[in-house]
Amino acid sequence: MTTFTILFAVSLVALIVRFIYNSKVKKSGFEVPEVFPQTWRDFLDQEIQFYKELKSEEKLQFESDIQRFLKRIRITGVKTSIDDEDRLLVASSALIPIFRFPEWEYKSLCEVLLYPDLFTEEYDFNGKDRSISGMVGSGGVMNNVVLFSKPALRYGFDNKSDKKNVGIHEFVHLFDKQDGNVDGVPSVIMRHQAVLPWLDLINKNMKEMLAGKSDINIYGATNEQEFLAVVSEYFFERPKLFKQKHPELYEALSSVFQNDLANR
């Protein structure tokens, strides 16, 4: 093969790669900026309490985590348009629980879908009896997808005191799923000897919740996985209050997420 032929082949391959890349960017209509935009930073400061309270070098880490997340995960609006703020809310929801695990990737996730409103188990967002604001997809093509109602996702961050955040809730389910099971026990992180005490703690708290003696959202008493997701919302949104009211749970969650949020 002559040098010319080799050069020609290499250029051809480069052209094809470029073409595929461009068509992908066109398809999603979004390219992640290489330099983190100031408008994004301002938005995070205003909307994401978790980010706002980070030290400046940690903010830089959060920003580069966002860029990495958005490069890997497609975010698609279904019958609704999406903008950079929606993308930042999705990425923040995903990154807050795993902030202390810089190498973490949600292995099972490929795409996040944003719906215009609440939806049903059949992904219907028009008919009656729609009550779902977020969901980890399961079965067939939905296996690698997380879905949100766009207004509900936004409301989770707008209301900073209600101990609820659907974005964090669903990504904690995915965090839990990393070991293969959504069961309220994140075994990838939790040491073996911590599992039984954790299950006991869940049990004890569920009893209090069902007896109306707890300020934890009663939905968390549905089962162990919902318990983990619900208390995580509380932990990340109101860490100081959570520590004060539920010191044992606070200790357990700060160990799971490697983050002593109430004391920063």
Per CB under 5 A, residues contacting Zn ion are 226, 229
For the bound state, the minimum distance from the C-beta of residue 147 to Zn ion, rounded and expressed in Å, comes to: 12
Give the whole-angstrom CA distance, residue 21 versus residue 3. 27
Q: How far is the CB of 220 from Zn ion (least distance, A)?
A: 9
The four Cα atoms 167, 74, 60, 93 give a dihedral, to 10 degrees, of 0
Question: Whose CA is closest to 237, among 222, 221, 215, 205?
Answer: 215
Please give the single-letter amino acid code of residue 172. V
User: What residues are paired with 77 via a beta bridge?
Assistant: 114
Minimum CB distance to Zn ion smaller for 44 or for 152: 152
First to last CA, the chain: 63
Residue 40 or 175 having the CB closest to Zn ion: 175
- Outline where DSSP puts E strands in 48-190: 74-77, 111-115, 134-136, 145-149
Q: CB of 165: closest distance to Zn ion in angstroms?
A: 12
Instruction: Give the residue from 150, 210, 143 showing the smallest Cα distance to 182.
Output: 143
**Amino acid (1-letter code) at residue 209:** M
By beta-carbon proximity to Zn ion, the closer residue of 112 and 229 is 229
Provide, rounded to whole angstroms, the least separation between the CB of residue 256 and Zn ion: 16
Closer residue to Zn ion (CB): 224 or 226: 226
* H-type alpha helices, 29-83: 38-47, 49-52, 56-72
What phi-psi label fits residue 113: left (phi over 0), alpha (psi between -120 and 50 degrees) or beta? Answer: beta
Nearer to Zn ion, 65 or 226 (CB): 226
Q: How far is the CB of 61 from Zn ion (least distance, A)?
A: 28
Using the minimum distance from each CB to Zn ion, give the nearer residue, 44 or 97: 97
Shortest Å distance, C-beta 226 to Zn ion: 5
Indicate the residue whose CB is closest to Zn ion. Answer: 229
Kindly tell me which of 75 and 230 has the beta carbon lying closer to Zn ion.
230
Cβ 136 to Zn ion shortest distance, Å: 8
Angle, helices 38-47 vs 56-72, to 10°: value is: 110
